[in-house]
Amino acid sequence: MNDVACIAEAEASPLSLKVAFASMEGDMVDQHFGSAEAFFVYAVTADSAELIAQKSFGYEKKDGNEDKLKPKMAFLVGADVVYCGSIGGSATRQLVSLGINPIKVSGGPDVDELLEALQAQLQGEAEPWLARIMRGKNANNSESRFEDMAEEAWEEENWD
């Protein structure tokens, strides 16, 4: 696992789901997004889940200060999903604008259990939000649609 400035730099298969967990020690989702002391990031496929990055941020008060979100947002660029114990509206909007799907979970679920649940969905029928993310990954990983169209045998028609 390399030290990376953002998740987009972390080595992972282009088809893997990059999932971050707001967690103090990496074993359970036990942090509010804005005051999260650390994020642990996994590359997840139907068959594997590998820790590819982690970053500590130190203690932050839950005080509504938006500036503390900036380093977290910068690190999370490239993630597909972020699990957290709670999250405010501003942080949610910022994540969504970056193409990251925030998921609020309660009760401090185990990271391993969440990873297993994601893998089960990837092996079977995924929930709509996850299916949308995977469709985007598959589309982005295929050749350019314009290159595909250029290879097709098509002719222009005269529409007069």
**What local confidence, expressed as pLDDT, does residue 11 receive?**
92
What's the predicted TM-score (pTM) here?
0.83
Class level of CATH domain 7-151: alpha beta
Residue 140 phi/psi, 5-degree rounding, is -70, -25
The structural domains of the chain, with segments of one domain joined by +, span 7-151
**What local confidence, expressed as pLDDT, does residue 66 receive?**
61
Rounded mean pLDDT, 26-33 = 94
Rounded mean pLDDT, 134-149 = 65
Token representation of residue 158:
């005269």
Rounded mean pLDDT, 105-127 = 94
Helix, strand, coil percent values for the chain (each to nearest 5): 35, 20, 45
**What local confidence, expressed as pLDDT, does residue 101 receive?**
96
**Residues 73-104: pLDDT tens digits?**
999 999 999 999 999 999 999 999 999 999 99
DSSP per-residue string spanning 29-79 = ---BSTT-SEEEEEEE-SS-EEEEEEEE------S--GGGHHHHHHHHTT-
**Residues 6-15: pLDDT tens digits?**
999 999 998 8
Determine how β-strand 38-44 pairs with β-strand 49-56. Answer: antiparallel
